[in-house]
Chains A and B, each alone.
Chain A
Amino acid sequence: MLLIYCPYCEEERSELEFRHGGDAHIARPTNIADITDEEFAEFFFLRDNPKGLIFERWRHIHGCGRFFNAARDTVSDKFYASYKAGEPKPDLSAVHPATEKTVETYEATEGTAK
């Protein structure tokens, strides 16, 4: 069970109090009615699924109720940052090594099935 720092309550609380909210920093286009199908797919469906650092949303649903963002390593589950919604994506290159962008699939790791 994760221990998550809520930037509004300013303390670490158990994962039980939170709900995961998917990838962070995906802004809803202000002209959403006018975007192309490809742009909509990019906005709504496509995610990187990185092995390594991910920026994700959490809601302190059984606490203050606020949505916030956090940076977590998907391999170690270590949190590198936790910050309020609307704040810019922090630069973590100094504390966290580069993230592999590739999506891990069977084909990517084992090659094409024969």
Chain B
Amino acid sequence: MSGANRIAGQGRLTPARTARFTFDGKSYEALEGDTVASALLANGVHLVGRSFKYHRPRGIVSAGPEEPNALIDVARDAARRQPNVRATVQEVFDGMKVTSQNRWPSLTFDVGGLNNLMSPFFAAGFYYKTFMWPKAAWEKVYEPVIRRAAGLGTAPTEEDPDHYANRYATCDVLVVGAGVAGLSAALAAAATGARVILCDEQPEVGGALHYDRSVTVDGKEGFVWAQEAAAKLAAMENVTVLSRTTAFGYYNHNFVGLVERVTDHVARPDRKAPRERLWQVRAKRVILATGAIERHMVFGNNDRPGIMLASAARTYLNHFGVAVGKKVAIYTANDSAYEAAFDLKRAGVQIAAIIDSRSKPGDAVLNEARSHGIEVLPGHSVVDTKGHRRVSSITVVRNGGGGKRSIAVDALLTSAGWTPSVHLFSQSRGKVAYNAETGQFLPGTYAQDCLSVGACNGTNGLQATIEEALAAGELMARATGNDGGEKVELRGENAFEWTGGMAGAAEGAGADTNVKAFIDFQNDVCAKDIRLAVREGMHSIEHIKRFTTNGMATDQGKLSNLHGLAIAAETLGREIPKVGLTTFRAPYTPVTFGTIINHSRGDLFDPARKTPMHAWEEAHGALFEDVGNWKRAWYYPRAGETMQEAVDRECRTVRAVAGVFDASTLGKIEVVGPDAAEFLNLMYTNAWDTLKPGRCRYGIMLREDGFVYDDGVVGRIAEDRFHVTTTTGGAPRVMNHMEDYLQTEFPHLKVWLTSTTEQWAVIAVQGPKAREIIAPLVEGIDISNEAFPHMSVREGKICGVPTRLFRMSFTGEAGYEVNVPADYGQAVWEAIWARAETLGACAYGTETMHVLRAEKGYIIVGQDTDGTVTPFDAGLAWAVSKKKTDFVGIRGLKRPDLVKEGRKQLVGLRTKDPKLVLEEGAQIVADPNQPMPMKMLGHVTSAYWSENCGHSIAFALVEGGHSRTGQTLYVPMPDRTVAVEVTDMVFIDKEGARLNG
């Protein structure tokens, strides 16, 4: 037998199929199909963790995803480790290593347990109060100590070697939950021919049928019927049945996120299989059959190991064959818990007593208990428990006062009733309604095309549940246009109807007491904490929740929310629905980051865009920088060169000889149509109707508010055709901006826009020898200075392939930008490079490009401007047409704030110490000796060492900058203050002679 508490003949696991695992280093035997919780209980282990705040010993409370206590660390190997796994959900696989959490130095001896004795200092809201003073102590004393003592689990340090999959799916009807209700709904929906997805978080379908052995459906034991029903569904072509699959989030328009755990239960998983799979399901209709969660009773010291939910004990017995104790008492306010006593008694476990806080339990269960010879104490309450690492006795009193009685037990099962699982319904933005009769929040107003059936809808009784679910399945399927098939009929029977239930503190844990009656085990929130919160002025349930942290642990208060609400309502003297329920948020249970991001990691995190010349650049030693998604050649270091040395050499060579640069990433838009010039007149500040075909112009694009949005050179290829270039990063938004105006504001214009960024490879050849480099390669274009001056464009051929050849410059040198169809990019580049190399030119990268353009005073939109800079601020007033009556931004430019004095304007800066290079982003002040906080005048936007100038250069946005030329300003840095002189922005060739050479 795998574990002393396994009872022969009980449960559904196969005794011969065993697996071994370790818990805190000790080896245990389990059966295949065990959860960690059932295997530990089989081996008599109840103490599995320490609580968050008080470090109290804690055991297993539930048998499902609602588990607040039994959080463990599960490892397959060093890298495959996950903290905060619920022991009640994790299936055992052979070789797994389980470690308890939140204890130091060991589970049985925990120093943090002192917190329990110090608990007066840890009252509700202690986060906000206790550790506020003295201020210095927070950083040095409180925080390190709290961090050491608190925190759930530890994150793995190694990269996750597993992979995770993603799948999109659509269906007519998605059924969440495969208990009696979900299976019935799925059967009815599937019979019509509808496409159905049925998911359930457990390894096997059945839901409550796992424990409720008194149920039969169509004459079969409920659990057996459920497996057959699922098999029948799985065999249908129109049905997908997903087990181990949790619907964790219900989003807009019936979009539901599911996580399927594919390999976490397998000892030696196929490494090709994903660990988990995210299903993004869009369903025409959704049926929620999510059941209900049993609540615990709230009384003094109700958190000892060995105290658990009655239904959990039934699951451990009836499904796993494990007895949770040898002498068990039941404490309940609800009939259903009696059946736990009956099942255990039949299995040979001694039932010490059933303590029922109600004076009148249901007759049927009462009679059955008596027939078993079980002592029932109606109108009694458990007010205290004893036992260090496991409950050893309970103290029982008659309600309203009476003699105390101590009963020796080794397990106590409690049930305060059932909370319908309305989490997904609430996530769907449905509004819950309070049913005062049953004390339940139930689905009220629906916001989406979904229905709730069974226990999550407050439906009592097996046959009622089946009929409700069958009707919903059929209705929803028909609503999606499926009307085939025969009507499904099912007949269910069960032994007892369940009535009763309570919420809030039980007798002996009321407002007049000071006992530790836990409502939220994971966050150590007691009934008295809720009352304290109310006394301290928290009257909204949202405030009470945050003040006490009730329901804010990883279990999101699945057991505790209603208790907390009931105690708050009682303390406030208001009705429960008046106090209100906090909103349920996704995810229903924790979801791994791996599942959420699935394939989007490593190389697939973001696409890398590479230019046609990328391979050449790599082969020639380029280092790359990321610009948006682009990989751009940054600089080409030669053996032994530092970055600065390489950039200095490239800068010198371009101005002395020439350089070749990959400008393919520039955004390009082809603007075509009879109204193209008129359209560009509206999109840019410049005038385009005056631009002759074959000529180019530098254009500035504004937003409607008058700020610079993008810039670039535009060439007029023909009367009705423009070749527009944008900044590298700006291409998509400029295209969107143009489309927006064209489609919605100027739809009368006959213009067509095409993104051509990736259609053209662009090779910039810049420098005194640029013409000599390309001359022998160009056909059909006269590239003499006279025929092809600066800012011209021609179509012709280069190396035998079509080209749009631009005479333009972003360096200040005479130069060309050779556009060729992308597929020819590398070939033409190599031909140009062969010439360039012979003539002593170099290949240069983006860093050199940045320096060269700054030497010439050319700005980079997005670096030297930040979305609050006008063309005037940037010194580009010349590019704003004064004749046009309209362009985007024309009115924005006249706004009072944009025309007033003292705006930040772009200027050049020269450091007094010519060798010093400023830091981009550094702040600028007029007087470095003024008291703090200093008056900041602006900041440095670009700063470089200029090898060609022999001194550093910089641009800055400075308040009133244009009228400060010649002034000395200061840049305070942590280690020194740098004096700078305000200059104009052109540092080389101010008259522009080189451009036209």
- A interface residues, Cβ below 8 angstroms from B: 1-3, 14-15, 19, 21, 27-28, 32-33, 35, 37, 40, 44, 57, 59, 61, 65-67, 76-78, 85-86
Contacts and interface: CB of A to CB of B under 8 A. Distances in A.
Contact of A28 (B705, B745, B896): B745
A77 B747 contact: no
Contact of B282 (A14, A21, A35): A14
A33 B253 contact: no
A1 B251 contact: yes
A70 B591 CA distance: 34
Contacts of A32: 886, 890-891
Interface in B673-689: none
Given A40-B892, A44-B892, A86 B747 contact: yes
Contact of A1 (B252, B745, B885): B252
A44 B367 CA distance: 76
A37 B747 contact: no
Contacts of B739: 59, 65, 67
A3 B892 contact: no
Contact of A37 (B282, B744, B895): B895
B704 interface: yes
B744 A67 contact: yes
B830 interface: no
Given A14-B282, A28-B745, A76 B429 contact: yes
Contacts of B255: 1, 3
Contact of A85 (B280, B744, B890): B744
B253 A3 contact: yes
Contact of B890 (A14, A33, A66): A33
Contacts of B891: 32-33, 35, 40
A56 to B, nearest CB: 13
A3 B113 CA distance: 52
Given A2-B252, A76-B429, A77-B429, 10 more contacts: A1-B255, A3-B255, A19-B736, A28-B704, A32-B891, A33-B890, A57-B744, A59-B740, A66-B743, A67-B740
Interface in B885-920: 885-886, 890-892, 894-896
B579 interface: no
B282 A59 contact: no
Contacts of A78: 447
Contacts of B890: 32-33
A3 B280 CA distance: 13
Contacts of A40: 891-892, 895
Nearest to B885: A33
A11 to B, nearest CB: 13
A65 B739 CA distance: 9
Interface string B732-767: 000010011001110100000000000000000000
A61 B736 contact: yes
Given A44-B704, A44-B705, A21 B896 contact: no
B282 A3 contact: yes
Contacts of A19: 736
B740 A21 contact: yes
Could you say which interface size class chain B belongs to? 20 to 34
B896 A37 contact: yes
The residue among A21, A77, A86 with the most chain B CB atoms within 10 A of its own CB is: A77
A78 to B, nearest CB: 8
Interface in B246-273: 251-255
A25 to B, nearest CB: 10
A76 B447 contact: yes
A15 B736 CA distance: 17
A28 B429 CA distance: 36
Contacts of B429: 76-77
B743 A67 contact: yes
A7 to B, nearest CB: 13
B252 A59 contact: no
A12 to B, nearest CB: 9
The 3 residue pairs across chains A and B that have the minimum distance between CB atoms: A3-B253, A1-B255, A67-B743
17 contacts: A1-B280, A3-B253, A15-B252, A21-B740, A27-B745, A28-B745, A32-B890, A33-B890, A35-B891, A40-B892, A44-B892, A59-B740, A61-B736, A77-B253, A77-B429, A78-B447, A85-B747
Interface in B429-444: 429
Nearest to B889: A32
A1 B892 CA distance: 35
A32 B884 CA distance: 12
Contacts of A57: 744
Contacts of B253: 1-3, 77
B736 A59 contact: yes
A57 B740 CA distance: 10
Contacts of B743: 66-67, 85
A71 to B, nearest CB: 15
B738 to A, nearest CB: 12
A35 B885 CA distance: 13
A114 B744 CA distance: 46
B252 A77 contact: yes
Contacts of B254: 3
Nearest to B429: A76
A65 to B, nearest CB: 7
B252 A33 contact: no
A14 B281 CA distance: 11
Interface string B230-259: 000000000000000000000111110000
A59 B739 CA distance: 10
Interface string B590-627: 00000000000000000000000000000000000000
Contacts of B745: 27-28
A67 B745 CA distance: 11
B496 to A, nearest CB: 41
B599 to A, nearest CB: 15
Contacts of B252: 1-3, 15, 77
A3 B253 CA distance: 6
A37 B280 CA distance: 48
Nearest to B739: A65
